[in-house]
Amino acid sequence: MLELIDLDMPSLGYTRFISAWLYRGADQSFIVDPGPAATIGHLIKEIESRGIESIDWVLLTHIHMDHAGGIGHLLERFPEARVACHEKAVRHLIDPEQLMEGSRKVLKAVAAAYGDIRPVPAGSVTAASTIVFEDAVTVIPTPGHAAHHQCFVFRDMLFCGELFGVFCQLEDAFYLRPATPPRFVFEDFLDSMDRVSPYADRKLCFGHYGSISRGAEILEASRRQLTLWVDVVRSHLASPDMDAITSDLLAEDSLFARVIHLDEMHYQREMYFTQNSIRGILGYLENTEKG
């Protein structure tokens, strides 16, 4: 059985945004992206309330603080758990000092709210391409949102992290926004989407937020949206202005324009992270085209 566990952070105004996926099989269980350190206590209570005494695997789509900052804390409660991550993430989990320092520089007060990252024992971490779990979990490297991003395929589920961006189910439609923070590499994103394409007929389980069974539709929509955003930002490259770029994106991207249907709290959060996505694309274009 698959469950989504909300990891709300009222101090940041984050609700229905950060979450963990918990799968309980007949004899084993795994968690996808346990979230930041600040919410690990809540996650552990939720796990224990379901009568789960041990966790077999923790699957990390990537190691940004909102997805994996609490992994060391979680393993203090469930030391038997094995951690699956991208090979580029292994050293940062074992020695998180550099990851923590970089997060503080980028996220500032948000990093403090997420809480400190604790190290993971080296013997608990693996970068395997297949996870031995019931019918097996297939690991797909998907750099783009981060160099250490990967997706997991398990039965009819695809845990896609932020490969397809930020998703929100609306009443009769869905909202979608690219998640392209620095350092964004356009070609890496497209290659990763191609890599998961054979599995897109499955249920997509997002890092942010929720799930949808129309995987193939989301894949194509995300690919078109990403290309559109790069084109729009490129048109402003000579004189970048964040407000002007955002205005053009709202005018030209019908999926992103649905942000107006979110409540005020979620709208403001999306406007904040939109600027980070634009910065990532600007950085990529300035490195590849402006010079």
The pLDDT value given to residue 290: 64
Which of 163, 232, 149 is closest to 199 using CA atoms?
A: 163
pLDDT for residue 108 is more than 90: no
CA distance 12 to 132: 37
Segment 37-48 mean pLDDT: 98
Classify residue 38 as exposed, middle or buried by CB count within 10 Å of its CB (0-12, 13-18, 19+): buried
Q: Which pLDDT belongs to residue 2?
A: 97
Lowest mean pLDDT among 128-132, 231-235, 281-285: 128-132
| pLDDT band, very low/low/confident/very high, at 102 (cuts 50, 70, 90) | confident
pLDDT for 135 equals: 86
Residue 8 has pLDDT above 90, yes or no: yes
pLDDT band of residue 27 (cuts 50, 70, 90) is confident
Assign 22 a pLDDT band (cuts: 50, 70, 90). Answer: very high
How far apart, in whole angstroms, are the C-alpha atoms of residue 16 and residue 266? Answer: 9
Q: Which amino acid is at 145?
A: H
Whether residue 291 has pLDDT greater than 80: no
Determine the Cα–Cα distance for residues 208 and 206; give it in Å rounded to an integer. 5
Find the mean pLDDT for residues 98-114: 89
Share of the chain above pLDDT 70, in %: 99
Q: What is the mean pLDDT of residues 84-109?
A: 92
Residue-level pLDDT at 106: 81
Q: Strands 2-6 and 19-24, how do they pair?
A: antiparallel
121 CB neighbour count, 10 Å cutoff: 12
Question: Is 33 within 8 Å of 71 (Cβ atoms)?
Answer: no
Alpha-carbon distance 232 to 269, whole Å?
22
Q: What is the DSSP string of the chain?
A: -EEEEE--BGGGTB-SSSEEEEEE-SS-EEEE----GGGHHHHHHHHHHTT-----EEE-S---HHHHTTHHHHHHH-TT-EEE--GGGHHHHHSTHHHHHHHHHHHTHHHHHH-------GGGEE--SEE-STT-EEEEE--SSSTT-EEEEETTEEEEETTT-EEEE-SSSEEEE----SS--HHHHHHHHHHHGGGTTSEEEESSS-EES-HHHHHHHHHHHHHHHHHHHHTTTTS--HHHHHHHHHHH-HHHHGGGGS-HHHHHHHHHHHHHHHHHHHHHHIIIII-
Tokens of 191: 């290659």
Check pLDDT > 70 for residue 177.
Answer: yes
pLDDT in tens, 236-257: 999 999 999 999 999 999 999 9
* Contact predicate 167/212, CB 8 Å: yes
pTM of the model: 0.96
**Which tens digits make up the pLDDT trace of 46-95?**
999 999 999 999 999 999 999 999 999 999 999 999 999 999 999 999 99
Report the chain's mean pLDDT, rounded to a whole number. 95
How does residue 107 score in pLDDT terms, banded at 50, 70 and 90?
Answer: confident
Strand 29-32 and strand 57-59: pairing? parallel
